[in-house]
Structure 1
Amino acid sequence: MKKIINIYTLAVAFISTSMLSTSCEKFVELGAPPTQVLLEDAFRTDASARSVVLGLYVSTVNSNISGTTTFYAGMSADDLQYNGSDASLAEFANNGLLNTNSYVNNLWASLYQLIKNTNNSVVGLERSNTLTPAVKDQLLGEAKFMRAYAYLQLVNLYGAVPLHLKSDLDVFEEVDLERSAVDQVYNQIVVDLTDAENKLATAYEGTFRARVNKHAASALLARVYLYLGDYEKAETFSSKVLASSEYSLPAPTSNFINDSRETIFQLANLTGFTTFGANYITAPTISPIYSLPARVFNSFETAPNVDLRKTNWVAPKMVSGTQYYAITKYKVSAGTGNEYHVVLRLAEQYLIRAEARANRNNLSGSKADVDAVRTRAGLTGISNDLTQTQMLAAIETERLHEFFGEYAHRWMDLKRTNRATAILSPIKPNWQTTDILFPIPNAQILINGKLTQNPGYED
């Protein structure tokens, strides 16, 4: 029997092949895509296989995983203030999520759709014996990176989750899987990223660092090991990235433009403006949908120097007598521009290594890494006399000031360091310790009877 897979990822890839690839001619030569294709045809040639994998990036942009993970987790933490009137979104800000919340369900579905697409890509690539070996390795590395990234979001937002690794050909949609333990999910993330790092080239494919390379895999591995508390490996992998001359820390005025040398990996689009710009920046008389809470704005240093992140990444804005603090990391909110969604950037690697070193009692090395980020922000170095506890507290604050409104960093940090209750309970009246996880969507439990609900969301 012929094996047929849905080739949505191949179809959407054609939208942006000319943008993500260095050769526009390949876009023209491939012609219009079908909606379904035989497995052996999808991965028969380098060009068609490349189109499938490029589709993973495009579908990630189209499903707005960048925005949803950032906004939902930011509201759940203390680095985003919601100013809208959508009751279902307000559930995140109030830490009053219901298991019927449609946004929680849509995020789950988007991440698993990405996993489904990557599974199809990984299986198809591994079974193909007609691809150029170097191309096959590159594409496998990209697909496995994307799968690991999706699972990293899922396991941090929902806890134990089903571990799907099979393609449509292996009855992906017909098998109900139980939730896999958190450590099992993390183990698969490490396996995928390790293989990706081994297979990916150091040089970027295409333009604007819009496809992952070896350093992107190392950077995400550094984050994973930090989350796991394996500080030796977190330092090792962050050091790999920091040793490269490919990256630097530009001034806060320009580090989110699409040719920034701080960028390790970004998701490209056709317009050059992002969901961040569109939601954080509004017309003068309109309040931003999401803004920085006043308590965070007031926590930035102003003496002896003013933190350049405060002056360049936040803009106080008065609307109808209400003070807002608009987030202006991204400067373009509509039309066309020169900004993409920056998923991985160099500052994180400095702060990962700083935290890893602090936990290994290398306080001088930790200080050097923190100071590299602070210097870019126009600040003086931190004290030479900090204890380990004080150093870790300084790093937590530095991460808040560096990553507010970006990719759920603050939410993940508070959870992994067991600081969520201490920080959030005084400022969120409805806070309960079970709020550190989102509910498993009730809609998914109805589909898959083997799923169980997270504590606190059973009703």
Structure 2
Amino acid sequence: MQSCSDFLEQEPGTQTSIDEQLSTKKGVLQALNGVYGDIRDVVNGPAFIVYSDIQGGNLKITPSSTGTIKGEFRIPTAITNFYSFDDSADNSNLLAFYNGAYEAINEANLILEFTDALTDATESEKNQIKAEALTARAYMHFLINQLYSQNYSYTNDASHLGIVYNKRSIKNGLQYPSRETAANTYNYIINDIKTALDLYSNNVLLNGPAYSYFNKTNTKALLSRVYLSKNDWRNAYETADDIIKNSGITLMNSANLIAEWEKPDLPVSEILLEFSISRNLEGAASSSLFAYFGYTSPTVYNNYVASEDLINLYETSDMRKQLFLVQPLQTLINLQLVDRNYYFTKKFQGNPGYIAFRLSEQYLIRAEAALKLDNIVQAKTDINTIRERANTSLLTDSEILEDAIFLERRKELCFEGHLFFDTTRNHKNISRNDGCLSLNCSIDYPSLKFVLPIPRNNTNINTNLKQNESY
């Protein structure tokens, strides 16, 4: 997963030009590896990594561990603006995400533009390269769309603004495109994914763990998530069902659930895609999620812990409560330092990578889609599969299934980047209680602040790029 950045240099000299770099299979594969590295950097950024869970109320901030402000709370600089639902177009907390995501898209487009002309690659190899590049392009556009466009059903016909969908690299000349509608944005994402699925072969072209690269199974997982976000219940159901039945991946069971999450370096066994961390030649790790969620000692710990809003959702018997490391931290209360318990997630101790897709999500997608298709039995069965594994009470006929699915997703997929988008997708209000330091702890749906401002430098360069309302 080492990045290859030199291939974007257009002028030859001490570095390789684009034309030279992408003229051979070796060069294209180096570039493709670079795309993966850049995607990893985008999703591991200090703002994006916590955005959905801290906005939705799953996370809160730890007190300072040292110095004159020991025990006091300080909102991390990386989230200062958006945490209060008031990000700034001039100094956006997500500037690096926005630019980095489109850079990865441009790199994927370059690979797509050069691959067909390769003379030292087989057709099968070229198809595999294009499939991975198309999936990368779709995935990045999907993440951008989640942050910068309102949910699909914000308008009845999805005619509200989506995002710019880039299908050509800047090597073909600077472009000043307008934003697509949300409907068109989703159509482009789905078309890229479907095209990729038709191209995938059994070729393994890059070194490293297979779970760190796009393949046919995790590309379907992306597609099922896109269909869910689009409220395309039939396709969401059928795609998730296909993965569950035919991927060869099985759910973690109760006996090893905790041990799987406690593994320090490897992903859980039901992983479909994890963007692995990078390591130097000595094996030292970087880009680990430990940097945000880790606990070492009472004076060495990182910024984010679970809120009691989340903790209180788990039943006493729920095994997933064991996935929290409960530690007392000195907290300044009424000018006195006192010990208060905080809940560090065990999902991201050790040196974990970024969890993009795992099998549990597919069961919950199938459950939600089944409910919308009036297949109540299947919806209950899938929810109970997840609940039974966690040793928590099974659903009866008294629950409101829509609420049950929403809460099960919140508990099962916590800190994996879903909560805020699940909340807006379901047209629910934001309510953050425990540990909320924002001036806006509660905000009702719909809100113009449920999307972020496009960074000002982008709208200044491209006058066709319309800013989101209220920014």
TM-score (ref. length: structure 1): 0.83
Matches of 1:128 and 1:164 in 2, distance apart? 23
Q: Tell me the equivalent position of 2:358.
A: 345
Aligned with 1:37 (options 12, 17, 23): 17
Q: Do residues 296 (structure 1) and 306 (structure 2) align?
A: no
Alignment of 1:264 onto 2:272: yes
Range 45-54 or range 270-279, more displaced: 270-279
- Quick one: which amino acid aligns to residue 134 of structure 1? S
In structure 2, what is the Cα distance between the partners aligned to 1:74 and 1:223?
A: 17
Residue 315 of structure 1 aligns to a residue in which SS? strand
Separation in 1, partners of 2:433, 2:448: 12
- Contact kept, 8 Å, 1:351 with 1:399, in 2: the verdict is yes
Alignment partner of 2:470: what SS?
Answer: coil
Out of 118, 122, 132, the position equivalent to 1:132 is 122
* More RCO (CA 8 Å, sep 6+): 2
Q: How does 1:56-75 map to 2 (within 5 A)?
A: 56-65=35-44, 67-75=46-54
The amino acid across from 1:78 in the alignment is G
The Cα of 1:64 is off from its aligned counterpart by: 4.7
Match of 2:57 among 74, 78, 84: 78
Per-residue deviation at 1:11? 8.8
* RMSD over equivalenced CA pairs, Å: 2.7
Q: Does structure 1 conserve the Cα–Cα contact (< 8 Å) formed by 2:274 and 2:353?
A: yes
For residues 364-410 of structure 1, what are the alpha-carbon distances to aligned partners after superposition, in whole Å with 9 as ceiling and x for unaligned? 11111112222332224222x156xx11110100111112211x201
Query: What amino acid is the match of 1:209?
Result: Y
CA change 1:67–1:222 in 2 (3 A) is farther
Query: Of the candidates 410, 421, 427, which is equivalent to residue 412 of structure 1?
Result: 421
1:151 matched to 2:141? The reply is yes
Amino acid at match of 1:312: L
The 8 Å contact of residues 431 and 442 in structure 2, kept in 1 or not, is answered as no
In structure 1, the partner of 2:241 is 239
Q: Is the deviation greater in 245-254 or in 423-432?
A: 423-432
Q: Residue 86 of structure 2 is aligned with which of 85, 96, 105?
A: 96
Q: In the TM superposition, what is the alpha-carbon distance from 1:129 to its structure 2 partner?
A: 5.3
Aligned match of 1:105 in 84, 95, 110?
95
1:142 counterpart residue number = 132
Task: Tell me whether 270-279 or 348-357 shows the greater mean CA deviation.
Answer: 270-279
- Matching residue of 1:397: 407
DSSP-derived class of the 2:80 partner: helix
Which amino acid in 2 is paired with 1:260? Answer: V
Q: Does 1:449 align with 2:463?
A: yes
Matches within 5 A, 1:211-230: 211-230=213-232
d(CA) in 1 for partners of 2:35 and 2:451?
Answer: 27
CA 35–183 in structure 1, closer or farther in 2 if over 3 Å, else same? farther
Asked whether 1:308 is paired with 2:325, we answer: no
Distance in 1, Cα, partners of 2:90 & 2:53: 20
Unmatched 5+ stretches in structure 2: 63-73, 150-161, 332-337
Q: Deviations over 1:311-343 (max 9, x none)?
A: 1245343333344221221221xxxx5x32221
Q: Which residue of 2 aligns with 1:254?
A: 260
Task: Tell me, yes or no, if the aligned pair for 2:57 and 2:307 is still in contact at 8 Å.
Answer: yes
Q: How many residues align?
A: 415
Pairwise CA distance, 1:261:
2.2
Q: 1:377 to 1:132 in 2, by over 3 A?
A: same
- d(CA) in 1 for partners of 2:204, 2:362: 19
Residues 1:222 and 1:148: Cα distance change in structure 2 (over 3 Å): same
Aligned counterparts of 1:280 and 1:451: Cα–Cα separation in 2: 36
Equivalent-residue separation in structure 2 for 1:210 and 1:90 (angstroms):
31
Deviation, 1:150, is 0.6
Residues 202 and 380 of structure 1, relative CA distance in 2, 3 Å threshold = farther
Question: Which amino acid in 1 is paired with 2:5?
Answer: Y
Q: 1:79·1:405 contact (CA, 8 Å) conserved in 2? A: yes
Q: What displacement does 1:38 show?
A: 4.5
1:277-303 deviation digits (Å, cap 9, x = unpaired): 22111332245301111111111111x
Aligned-residue offset at 1:447? 2.0
SS across alignment from 1:243: helix
Structure 1 distance, partners of 2:107, 2:223, is: 22
Q: Distance in 1 between matches of 2:401 and 2:345?
A: 27
1:287–1:324: 8 Å Cα contact kept in structure 2? no
Contact 2:430/2:442 (<8 A) preserved: no
Asked if 2 retains the 8 angstrom alpha-carbon contact of 1:44 and 1:131, the reply is no
The aligned residue for residue 164 of structure 2 is 162
Deviations for 1:80-124, whole angstroms, at most 9, x for unmatched residues? 223444456232222222222332222111111111111111111
SS at match of 1:418: coil
**Alpha carbons 1:279, 1:288 under 8 Å: kept:** yes
For 2:16, the aligned partner's letter is: Q
Which residues of structure 1 form unaligned runs of 5+?
1-6, 13-32
Alignment partner, residue 22 of structure 1: none
1:116 matches 2:125: no
Q: Please state whether the residue corresponding to 1:405 is helix, strand or coil.
A: coil
Deviation at 1:214, TM superposition (A): 0.4
Q: Which amino acid aligns with 2:86?
A: G
Q: Is residue 80–residue 93 contact of structure 2 (8 Å, CA) maintained in 1?
A: no
- Decide whether aligned partners of structure 1 residues 75 and 431 sit closer, same or farther in structure 2, where only a CA change above 3 A counts: same
In 2 relative to 1, CA 79–69 (structure 1 residues): closer, same or farther, beyond 3 Å? same
- The whole-number CA distance in structure 2 between the counterparts of 1:105 and 1:91 is 12
Scaled by the length of structure 2, the TM-score of the pair is 0.81
